[in-house]
Structure 1
Amino acid sequence: MDREPKLLEADEVGPAAVVNHKAADKLRAGHLWVYRTDVEELIPALGAVAMPAGGLITLMDARRIPFGSAIYSEASVIAARKVSAEPKIHRGEYLEDVVTRVRAALALRTPMLTDGSTDSVRLIFSEADDLPGIVADRYRNLVVLQLLTQGTAQDDMREVLARELAVEGVDVIVERPDPRIRELEKLPAPPAEPLFVREGHAGPAKTEFTLNGLKLGFDANAGQKTGAFLDQRMNYAAAAAYAHGEALDICTYQGGFALHMARVCTHVTGVDASRSALETAEQNLERNRAQMKAEVEWVEADAFELLRAYDAEKRQFDTIVLDPPAFAKTKRAAEGAMRGYKEMNLRALRMLRPGGTLITCSCSHHVSREEFTATVAEAAADSGRHVRMLETRGAALDHPEVLTLPETAYLKCLILRVD
């Protein structure tokens, strides 16, 4: 006979959040987030008058049956991120779990660096590694860390991560916050100094790293997010396998897709609205000049304006890559994002020569793979072209998806043949 779940007393759970029926069902199904609108009651610890910002709380349903523990944010739309199936009151227990999970994350990535063609990888991917609010990227000898929640952006967490991530070959660990998330989470400024510097190592937080055999520059104090887009690594290689002839790379940023295609194409045009990104792309081109088969040019322009102009001029290409930034920053912005994706893809489809290849991407986690694919299909229908799907891809293997957390399946990449 099954035993009834144990109802815990207040002194056994510490501070707690009672969630509504919808959130309870999602937690039972394996989801890891609780939105503030789904919290019915906040219960401070005995003797306390408020919930602890960034502290551990117990998640419970209306019957006071616990789902486990979570880190709490007093500011974010996501009020709680589950970190354990067991109620935990003491932060020391949580930090012990962090150590175990960081080591497991590093062990998962080690085989990805063995063939010599790549020395950079995402070491920790937040919920995908059971480490909510923590992201760490390695660029050869430099690790860039992001602490994204009130529960992780704390000095004891920095100490643990600096110790565990200082593996062989890592010389510097720096923390670089996401400005928007820092504002939303009401996080203090991170330490200005590196969290770790190996003895004998000096110099700024810059390095040169290798991705799919290409040498690329990285500066931890410049660029977007933690720097280069490691999540596209395997899609870069796939694009190069299909690319041919004259290629156009829209939203090239620092030249990721463009430089991979330039090893096989005859001419590549990389387009971006950021002059500084294109300057870095040019530096990356010079680093790899000996590998380049194509003539490469960079164009500073708005992606939509340039596509409209090229479409009006009836410009033609053999390969087009669309890799725009996230159009949908919120769920409410998803409808507008779909219109943007459709316009961009429709113009690209019209500009491809028969037998051409379209590599089209979306990194909006508020837009599902099914929604994005349907939007591209609408563009294909409107274009009047015969379009076949060759591959449906996601992020590289160092960015695994959690099946019960759809938000981790944020990157979509479709490879299409257009006749």
Structure 2
Amino acid sequence: MKVYLKKNIKNRIKNGHPWIYYNEIEKIDGEIENGSIVEVFNHENYFIGKGYINFNSKIRIRLLTRKNEKIDKNFLKKRIVQALRRRNTKEESFRVIFSEADNLPGLIVDKFGNYLVIEINTLGIEKIKNFIIDVLIEIFNPVGIFEKSDSTSRKKEGLTTFTGWIYGNGPELIPYTINGIILFADTKGQKTGAFLDQRFNALSLRNYTNNKSCLDCFCYTGNFGLHMLKFGAKHVTFVDYSKRAIEVAELALKKNDFQNYELIVGNAFDILKSFYNSSKFFDVISIDPPSFAKSASTKQSALKGYKEINLRAMKILKERGILATSSCTQVISEQEFINTIFSAAIDTGKISRILHKGGQPYDHPQVLNILETQYLKFLLLEIENLK
């Protein structure tokens, strides 16, 4: 089936962006079933590419290729092999496929040791899922593949949610190792069960936590705090709103035989305020909150949230303490995030000195042509009193 675009569409599509919105389409030849592969042409009948269509979504077409090639099992194998070559890693745990950034929009695949966890967010990928599973088995020969397709975006695609083992079997908490630390991917937790994108940013703390009192705020299953303890922290306090996440973090702490820690379930904003009121201060604090904004309409609210949580963290840092702070909100740029941190520092009478800037690791590649693939900002700061 053929789809023709309007004459005055933006250069975004021509320049490599894979999304085609409903209002960019001039006409469609014939009747097309949702999730089907279509050929896309511009208004002059010039071939643009192939992708899958869904009339339930404002993003009407997501392009899979700019070539006139068949979308089949061989195509998917080629895409996944390309992604592995792009990573060129010997790590046992990493992101295999990062959706649009790896030319497979709607698909996430994470490798945790001998297990794979996949997340399917679009109808087009759902329709070729069996091919994808066959290729993953052929390439990785995993003990098990768990599907964790429970995002809210599936509803917009006309899909129901699904979670469960679709190949082999495995534990509810999947053990994996990064940077010499044993962690657990929670099949009942967020996203694919664990966040692999912060593993290198956590390494930036290695020179700052030895014999220090530390706080891991929004800790989820404990990534930053576990690294702090590995790097010799005297004590680490873990804070998260999720009781289950704290329980998983505790399991990891025991598995790694770490000592000297405290686990707190509760609202991070309230807990940081209570630390200030009780004069409890830290040498090192990690702030790794969830995305405060999913769209541009909530951007200002997100900026206020980032400012407030970082302001509260700065208030309980000892003189020249270390603040590791992150934003995973795509709608906020790095400069906007830096400006927000600066504003929080000014309001608390602090000087904020950037020691290190981090971002996404190689297995979460940023495609400059696709702004949506750029989301993670990380700053390692020394916080000094202005007077």
Aligned residue for 1:277?
245
How many residue pairs are counted as aligned between the two chains? 381
Residues 380, 219 of structure 1: CA spacing in aligned structure 2 closer, same or farther, 3 A cutoff? closer
1:319, CA displacement in angstroms? Answer: 0.6
Please state whether the residue corresponding to 1:378 is helix, strand or coil: helix
Question: Which ranges of structure 1 fall in alignment gaps of 5 or more residues?
Answer: 1-13, 114-118
- The separation in 1 between residues aligned to 2:161 and 2:243, in whole angstroms, is 28
1:378 positional shift:
1.5
**Aligned positions of 1:80-159 closer than 5 A:** 80-87=61-68, 92-93=70-71, 95-113=73-91, 119-154=92-127, 157-159=128-130
The aligned runs of 1:281-360 (5 Å cut-off) are 281-289=249-257, 292=258, 295-360=260-325
% identity of equivalent residues: 34
Q: Are the aligned partners of 1:15 and 1:56 in contact in 2 as well (CA < 8 Å)?
A: no
Shift of the alpha carbon at 1:180?
0.7
* Higher normalized strand content (fraction of residues): 2
State the distance in 1 between where 2:4 and 2:262 align.
55
8 Å CA contact 1:320–1:352 kept in 2: the answer is yes
CA deviation string 1:188-239 (max 9, x = no partner) = 45485x3332xxxx5545432111111123342x111001111111112223
Q: Call closer, same or farther: CA 1:250–1:77 in 2, change over 3 Å.
A: farther
CA deviations over 1:316-366 (Å, ceiling 9, x no partner):
211111101000012211110000001111121222112211111111112
The equivalent of 2:224 in structure 1 is: 257
How far did residue 307 of structure 1 move?
A: 1.9
Q: Secondary structure at the match of 1:298?
A: strand
1:230 counterpart residue number:
196
The answer to whether the 8 A contact 1:20-1:40 is kept is no
What is the aligned partner in structure 2 of residue 3 from structure 1? none
Q: Say whether the 8 Å CA contact 1:346–1:379 is kept in structure 2.
A: yes
Asked if the contact 1:158–1:195 (Cα under 8 Å) also holds between the matched residues in 2, the reply is: no
2:133 is aligned to 162
User: How far did 1:284 drift?
Assistant: 0.6
Name the counterpart of 2:327: 362
Tell me how far apart the structure 2 counterparts of residues 205 and 252 of structure 1 sit (CA, whole Å): 20
3-state DSSP class of the match of 2:372? helix
SS across alignment from 1:93: coil
Q: Which residue of 2 aligns with 1:69?
A: 50
TM-score of the two chains, using structure 2 as the length reference: 0.92
Deviation string 1:99-156 (CA, Å, 9 cap, x unpaired) is: 201112223345242xxxxx211111111111111110111111011121111012xx
Whether contact under 8 Å (1:141, 1:207) holds in the other structure is: no
TM-score by length of 1: 0.85
- The answer to whether structure 1 residue 26 and structure 2 residue 5 are counterparts is no
The range that moved more, 256-265 or 163-172, is 163-172
TM superposition shift of 1:392: 1.4
Q: Which runs of 5+ in 2 are unaligned?
A: none
Give the whole-Å Cα distance in 2 for the aligned partners of 1:396 and 1:40. 35
* Residue 33 of structure 1: how far off its partner (Å): 1.7
